[in-house]
């Protein structure tokens, strides 16, 4: 009897599931069952193929403005899938009886950085936001470990390609949303309105994401696989356009530093020489196609305002002068993640009637919010990263374009980090952890297999 009715079991289960889905859509919204189905599929993918989930997470960066409320904080699709890829990989490793980490030069400082977040649970007024950051950064730590243990140079190339494509889409969104209008400058160019924000809600965060992706797009566009080159070059153009429309001075300086780093790569040097020769020929012919355009004038004036700001007029100088007082009063574990806007007014650090969200500097913000423990982790990470990249440059000559692209991305981050702090974006942090993992992969050498 049971054998006769057994084939009807799946049919009955499917019918019941269909009824449940219809009721859920009727009681809430038709999008809810679709979102749950998509979430379930991504969760399964994060356990079954976590590396593919990582690529999917980077590809979702253009949806960064879409956010789902989780308790007292919002989570974007890219953040959720990034966390799922790291968490799913760790769960899969544990299920197989293997540990989800291995000793590596960058693993220790990255782990210490995550641990430095924990005391903030007890010091901030909204501990849920700190818990969210701890969960996300912990998952990103497992993303790093996944790349260290299972990544190959091909993995690095694919990751940089997906990141470049995603940043290209973000740049296109910035161009389209601007409607072709050039941002307007005020004064001598120290302030601007109408700056592109892209998918990140802030011009400086947009510039950081684009600057992290640009070197990889350039490396793959010049010397990547034949099918990748045109896509990577198109992405490079969109990335550059998005950066220009953001008018982020820190971002523009970051890109300049990244391109200078890429000059250490022979294919890029040759490209620059050819481009320089073409420009010289056009100039000798009496043509100057860019010199009189409104975009070029605005960009030049914006960059020229750096000298004006460096004279002490920029209000960030006030932040940099007063933040060490907060650090001195909370030296060991800091004031807690995201707590700067609450504490700064007590020290007179105000922007008109409002306050600053951070100390406009990566080292200062980490020192004030995570204390000297977090600052020590940052210094340790920088030193270890430099050694890792230098080793990768020596032992992976076949992939020096990728090595220099990673180095250029971190140079860009460091330069913008002198005048801004964009690590409030979890996607930016996730990309940093992933690029750190890529650096460790290439440091194994051309012929070394994954651990």
Mean pLDDT by 10 residues, the chain (451 residues): 47 46 47 52 73 92 76 77 91 89 92 95 87 94 95 95 95 81 53 70 90 96 93 94 85 91 93 82 62 51 50 72 92 92 88 82 95 96 97 94 97 94 94 97 76 60
Checking phi first, is residue 425 left (phi over 0); if not, alpha (psi -120 to 50) or beta?
beta
Residue 163, H or E segment: helix 153-178
Domain that holds residue 374: 109-442
Residue 34 lies in a domain: no
Say which residues have a Cβ less than 8 Å from residue 239's Cβ, sequence separation at least 6.
Answer: 164, 167, 168, 170, 171, 210, 213, 214, 217
Residue 384 lies in a domain: yes
Residue 101 lies in a domain: no
Residue 10 lies in a domain: no
Residue 191, H or E segment: strand 191-193
Instruction: Give the three-class secondary structure for 186.
Output: strand
φ, ψ at 396 (rounded to 5°): -125, 60
Residue 22 lies in a domain: no
**Total number of domains in the chain:** 1
Whether the CB-CB separation of 211 and 254 falls below 8 Å is answered with: yes
Residue 57 lies in a domain: no
Distance of CA 161 to the CA centre of its chain: 14
Instruction: Give the three-class secondary structure for 354.
Output: strand
Report the alpha-carbon distance of residue 435 to residue 328 in Å, rounded: 33
Report the alpha-carbon distance of residue 155 to residue 406 in Å, rounded: 14
Model confidence pTM above 0.75: yes
Whether the CB-CB separation of 249 and 302 falls below 8 Å is answered with: yes
Residue 383 lies in a domain: yes
pLDDT of amino acid 19? 46
pLDDT of amino acid 367? 96
Burial of 10 (0-12, 13-18, 19+ CB in 10 A): exposed
Report the alpha-carbon distance of residue 411 to residue 272 in Å, rounded: 19
pLDDT of amino acid 431? 97
Whether the CB-CB separation of 216 and 192 falls below 8 Å is answered with: no
Report the alpha-carbon distance of residue 428 to residue 358 in Å, rounded: 16
Residue 62 lies in a domain: no
């Amino acid at each position: 009897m049971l054998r006769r009715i057994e084939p009807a079991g799946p049919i009955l289960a499917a019918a019941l599931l269909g009824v449940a889905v219809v009721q859920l859509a009727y009681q809430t919204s038709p999008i809810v069952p679709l979102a749950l189905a998509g979430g379930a599929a991504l969760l399964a993918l994060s356990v079954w193929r976590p590396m593919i989930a990582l690529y999917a997470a980077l590809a979702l960066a253009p949806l960064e403005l879409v956010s789902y409320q989780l308790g007292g904080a919002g989570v974007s699709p890219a953040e959720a899938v990034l966390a799922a890829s790291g968490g799913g990989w760790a769960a899969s490793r544990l299920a197989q009886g293997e540990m989800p980490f291995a000793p590596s030069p960058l693993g220790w400082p990255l782990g210490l950085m995550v641990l430095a977040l924990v005391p903030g649970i007890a010091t901030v007024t909204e501990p849920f936001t700190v818990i969210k950051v701890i969960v996300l950064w912990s998952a990103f730590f497992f993303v790093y470990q996944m790349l260290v243990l299972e990544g190959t140079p091909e993995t690095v190339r694919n990751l940089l390609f997906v990141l470049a494509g995603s940043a290209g889409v973000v740049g296109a969104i910035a161009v389209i949303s601007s409607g072709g209008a050039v941002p307007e400058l005020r004064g001598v160019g120290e302030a601007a309105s109408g700056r592109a924000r892209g998918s990140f809600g802030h011009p400086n965060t947009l510039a950081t994401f684009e600057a992290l992706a640009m070197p990889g797009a350039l490396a793959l566009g010049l010397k990547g696989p034949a099918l990748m080159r045109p896509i990577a070059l198109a992405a490079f153009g969109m990335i550059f356009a998005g950066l220009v429309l953001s008018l982020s001075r820190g971002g523009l300086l970051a890109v300049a530093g990244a391109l200078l780093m890429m000059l250490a790569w022979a294919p890029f040097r040759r490209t620059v020489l050819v481009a320089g020769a073409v420009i010289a020929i056009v100039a000798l012919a009496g043509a100057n196609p860019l010199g009189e355009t409104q975009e070029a004038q605005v960009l030049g004036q914006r960059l020229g305002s750096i000298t004006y700001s460096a004279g002490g007029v920029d209000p960030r100088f006030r932040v940099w002068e007063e933040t060490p007082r907060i650090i001195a009063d909370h030296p060991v574990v800091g004031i807690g993640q995201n707590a700067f806007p609450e504490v700064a007014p007590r020290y007179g650090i105000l922007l008109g009637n409002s306050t600053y969200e951070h100390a406009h500097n990566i080292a200062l913000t980490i020192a004030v919010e995570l204390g000297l423990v977090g600052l020590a982790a940052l210094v340790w990470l920088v030193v270890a990263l430099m050694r890792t990249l230098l080793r990768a440059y020596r032992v992976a000559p076949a992939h020096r374009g990728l090595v220099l692209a990673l180095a250029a991305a971190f140079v860009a981050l460091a330069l913008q980090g002198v005048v801004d702090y964009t690590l409030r974006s979890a996607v930016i942090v996730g990309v940093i952890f992933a690029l750190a993992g890529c650096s460790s992969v290439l440091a194994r050498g051309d012929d070394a297999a994954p651990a």
